[in-house]
Amino acid sequence: MPVPEPGPVLAPEQVRADALAPARAWWNRRPRGRTPWLAGLGVALVVVLALVGYLAAVTINNTRYPPDQPVRALFAALTARDTTTAAELAGCTSPACTGNALSRGYEPPTDVQLGKISYSDPTDNTRRPDKSIAYVPVTYRLGGAAQTVTMRVQRTGTGLARPFRIMSGATGRLAVTAGRLDQVQVAGAQVPVDDQGVTVLPGRYTVQVPPTDPLFAATPAAPAQVDVPATADQRATPVALQLPVQIRPDVVDQVDEQVAAFLAACAEQETLTPAGCPFRVPGIVISATDVRWRIDQAPVIEVVPAEQPGPTDPPAAMRTITPGRVTVTYAAFTSAGGDRSTVTQQLPIEITGTVDVDPALPGRIIWSG
């Protein structure tokens, strides 16, 4: 039987190539166009999933974080007199929005009603709505008077949780004038006196003189109350209040003591014209000796707030209500013939001056005649 001749010896690379030949043949015979179709299907699936995710995020945000959520939360905090929460929601950082400012002397809005939410500026209906910015109209009452405001809210944050935040319309401004007072008590907070006003949360406020003021006190009348509505226009004129004040009774006592000491020092001067004093013998007296002064009755005085004082003027003035009386006795020539006689005269005492607080010792009152 004939033996077949051996074939050629192939290199390893050629062996591997021959083994892959059937796979190459199948690839070359595959139907054209199927791979692009599968790729397009994959892209479409990604787009659909992204759209579903977006719609899910929008649904979650609209359900859990509606545009009026922070507005409702704000009025709930005001009703609870929760200063911290209300200030954070309204974006208020003034002294009237800190600490326990709303804990006393404050009445929150009542009958709060929210209107229809819009997603475009009410002043320009031609603009395309921006769903990340919304406008929430609110009506409420302060002290029986109806108030309206539109609060602007905007989505914040990233990801699925994007709650709205109040951007404007949640605060008002209050400007208090009260003579030379540097601070006033607004509800439970002390705020600086400022002609431009201080930012406050909407509500009715009791305004009075701080109990720690060394010079002024509230008048006996009922404490001043003022309604401050919220406004969307921060350029709006602040609500103005003129706070009536009076001098503290202990201030009058201190001034009385200083006046009494001043008059006593005047009475010790053995001259008919005591220097710097509110009494003197009128006319010309020749060779007066043995001059003696005696305070019979001190004047009745009052201390009142100064009228429109300047920044450096004393904040209060002292004046006489009922004149006092002083008696002077002296010896002098009373005739051309050279006779000397003892003369006794009674003169009125009227005194005025300014009143201020000692800058070196707060609480101490200084009267200047």
pLDDT digits (tens, 9 = 90+) for 148-171: 999 999 998 766 667 999 999 999
pLDDT band at 33 (very low <50, low <70, confident <90, very high): low
278: left (phi over 0), alpha (psi -120 to 50) or beta: alpha
**How far is Cα 366 from Cα 214, in angstroms, rounded to an integer?**
12
Residue 282 maps to a domain: yes
How many whole angstroms separate alpha carbon 97 and alpha carbon 106?
A: 12
Q: Is residue 138 part of a domain?
A: yes
User: Do 265 and 229 lie in a common domain?
Assistant: no
Query: Which range marks the domain in which residue 300 is found?
Result: 249-368
Domain count, the chain: 2
What is the predicted pLDDT for the residue at 307? 83
Sign of the Cα pseudo-torsion (280, 283, 285, 286, in order): positive
Instruction: Please tell me the pTM assigned to this model.
Output: 0.71
Same-domain check for residues 198 and 256: no
Alpha helix (H) ranges present in 103-231?
none
Same domain? For 258 and 199 the reply is: no
| Domain-located, residue 338 | yes
Helices 21-29 and 12-19 cross at an angle (nearest 10°) of 40
Same-domain status, 355 and 211: no
Out of 2-6, 159-163, 334-338, pick the least confident.
2-6
Q: DSSP letter string over 254-289?
A: HHHHHHHHHHHHHHT--SSS-TT-S----S--SS-E
Last residue of a domain, one of 228, 247, 266: 247
**More confident call, 80 vs 340:** 80
Cβ neighbours for 86, distance < 8 A, ≥ 6 positions apart? 74, 77, 78, 92, 97, 102, 201
Q: Is residue 13 part of a domain?
A: no
- What is the DSSP-derived secondary structure letter of residue 94? S
Query: Mean pLDDT in the chain?
Result: 85
Q: In the predicted model, is pLDDT for residue 186 greater than 90?
A: yes
Q: State mean pLDDT over 135-159.
A: 91
- At 29 the pLDDT is 60
- 286 falls in which pLDDT band (50, 70, 90)? confident
Q: Of 213, 247, 281, which residue is a domain's last?
A: 247
241 & 312 share domain = no
Q: Is 284 part of a structural domain of the chain?
A: yes
The answer as to whether 36 is a domain residue is no
Residue 304 has pLDDT above 90, yes or no: yes
Q: Which of 247, 275, 295 is the last residue of a domain?
A: 247
pLDDT band at 119 (very low <50, low <70, confident <90, very high): confident
Residue pLDDT, tens place only, 307-326? 877 778 899 999 999 999 99
What are 60-86's pLDDT values in tens digits? 655 677 999 999 999 999 999 999 999
- Whether residue 114 sits in one domain with residue 188: yes
Say yes or no: 236 and 272 in one domain: no
User: Are residues 105 and 221 located together in one domain of the fold?
Assistant: yes
**Residue 320 within a domain:** yes
Q: In this structure, are 78 and 153 located in the same domain?
A: yes
One domain, residues 166 and 309: no
Per-residue confidence (pLDDT) for residue 328, from 0 to 100: 96
Asked whether residue 305 falls in the same domain as residue 180, the answer is no
If asked whether residues 146 and 264 sit together in one domain, one would say no
- d(C-alpha 328, C-alpha 170), whole Å: 70
In a domain, 52, yes or no: no
Tokens matching residue 216: 């002024």
Cα angle 94-96-100, degrees, rounded to a multiple of 5: 120
